[in-house]
């Protein structure tokens, strides 16, 4: 809950702080006009100051995934500056060599683009589109955090009426939130402007809502009955050791284990991954009742695909939890020896 709330707070800060600031800077840059010719100041200005400069040298930018280089220039008045340009100093920029003359355009004290003889290259300080990372992170984190809060609410509400550890309602809400968060993160990158990005998210939200409604109808019909899982017992030909645990008020279910050993006529719990020692053998009085999905109140979780075998040892309930692929071996090992003989 605290983690989800933190994501939402970070998203609010991004969407109300750096994001609008970068968007405002882009609008100012697009509205800027060329400085009057009489302007000789080299201070930060809101107009576009274009001068002819000479390239001193180029140096690659180290520590970046994409190719980039520093372009060092000197203006006629002796002022030296540098600009970062994405690309390389090789064939991609053949004119970027020492001594070449270029036109550099500054705005608010930074070189925003450079005009070579064969075209214009915008620098890393180009404010156009600089709002996109902030809005992408803000929308993505905000929607993801809101989805986590919604999933937590659903889990708290559903767990009061459903004993299942992984109720379908929470799964549908979580999946929808993740898809919507991805759409929110993608929207500013594929649209032009904040308004278009919000419309993109709104459209995605409608599609996600329809998809979740359809999934809810299908899952509700599929899981509306008993949570019993039909499993056919399989007697292992050789001794098998796998993850699992036995829980119950019985001598072999109190100390825990972590691994189960299944063999013809044998089921034991052990802390040894090889199953060679410290075995707690299950007595023949343990009788399986049914196999079901795990409940949130069950002890022991072996990840996705965990199933629980409900058993009784006399009047004492006993639970055996393991992966679904191991359940047939558990049931086969618990079968009476006489029942397996032809």
The ranges assigned to domains in the chain are: 32-122, 132-222, 240-340
Q: Please count the other Cβ atoms lying within 10 Å of the Cβ belonging to residue 58.
A: 19
pLDDT at 176: 87
> Considering only CA atoms, which of 260, 227, 230 is closest in space to residue 243?
260
> What average pLDDT does this structure show over 288-302?
80
The candidate with the shortest Cα–Cα distance to 32, out of 24, 40, 20, is 24
Residue whose token pair is 């750096």: 18
pLDDT in tens, 221-246: 766 567 788 899 998 888 999 999 88
How many C-beta atoms lie closer than 10 Å to residue 96's C-beta? 21
Burial zone of 202 (CB within 10 Å; 0-12 exposed, 13-18 middle, 19+ buried): exposed
Q: How confident is the model at residue 134, as a pLDDT?
A: 95
CATH number of the domain located at residue range(s) 240-340 in this protein: 2.30.29
Is the model's pTM score more than 0.85? no
Residue 304 confidence (pLDDT) above 80: no
Name the 3-class secondary structure at 275.
coil
Identical fold, 32-122 and 240-340: no
Q: Between residues 108 and 293, which one has the greater pLDDT?
A: 108
Architecture of the CATH domain 32-122: Beta Barrel (2.40)
The predicted structure's pLDDT at residue 185: 95
286-322 as b/e: b if 16+ CB within 10 A: bebeebbbbeeebebebeeebbbbebebeeeebbbbb
pLDDT-above-70 percentage for the chain: 85
Greater confidence (142 vs 36) lies with 142
The predicted-structure confidence for 32-66, as pLDDT tens digits, reads as follows 999 887 555 555 578 999 999 998 888 888 877 77
Please check whether residue 140 is in contact with residue 270, taking contact to mean a CB–CB distance below 8 angstroms: no
pLDDT tops 70 at residue 155: no
What are the b/e assignments for 33-48, b being 16+ CB within 10 Å? eebeeeeeeeeeeeeb
Helices and strands in the chain, H and E counts: 7, 13
pLDDT on residue 92: 52
């Amino acid at each position: 809950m605290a983690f989800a709330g933190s994501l939402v707070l970070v998203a609010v800060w991004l969407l109300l702080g750096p994001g609008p600031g970068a968007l405002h800077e882009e609008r100012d840059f697009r509205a800027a006009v060329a400085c009057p010719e009489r302007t000789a100041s080299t201070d930060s200005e809101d107009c576009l100051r274009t001068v002819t400069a000479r390239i001193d040298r180029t140096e690659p930018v180290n520590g970046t995934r994409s190719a980039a280089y520093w372009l060092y220039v000197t203006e006629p008045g002796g002022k030296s500056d540098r600009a970062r340009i994405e690309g390389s100093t090789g064939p991609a920029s053949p004119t970027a060599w020492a001594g070449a003359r270029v036109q550099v355009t500054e705005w608010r004290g930074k070189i925003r683009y450079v005009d070579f003889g064969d075209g214009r290259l915008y620098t890393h300080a180009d404010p156009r589109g600089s709002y996109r990372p902030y809005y992408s992170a803000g929308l993505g984190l905000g929607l993801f955090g809101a989805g986590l809060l919604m999933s937590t609410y659903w889990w708290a509400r559903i767990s009061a009426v459903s004993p299942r550890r992984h109720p379908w309602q929470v799964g549908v809400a979580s999946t929808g939130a993740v898809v919507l968060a991805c759409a929110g993160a993608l929207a500013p990158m594929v649209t032009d402007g904040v308004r278009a990005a919000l419309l993109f998210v709104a459209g995605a939200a409608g599609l996600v809502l329809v998809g979740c409604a359809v999934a809810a109808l299908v899952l509700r019909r599929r899981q509306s009955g008993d949570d019993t899982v039909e499993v056919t017992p399989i007697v292992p030909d050789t001794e098998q050791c796998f993850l699992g645990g036995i829980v119950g008020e019985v001598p072999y279910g109190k100390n825990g284990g972590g691994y189960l050993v299944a063999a013809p006529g044998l089921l034991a719990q052990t802390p040894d991954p090889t199953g060679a020692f410290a075995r707690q053998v299950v007595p023949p009085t343990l009788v399986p009742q049914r196999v079901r999905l795990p409940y949130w109140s069950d002890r022991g979780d072996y990840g996705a695909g965990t199933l629980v075998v409900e058993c009784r040892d006399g009047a004492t309930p006993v639970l055996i939890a393991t992966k679904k692929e191991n359940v047939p071996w558990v049931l086969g090992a618990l079968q009476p020896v006489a029942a397996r003989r032809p």
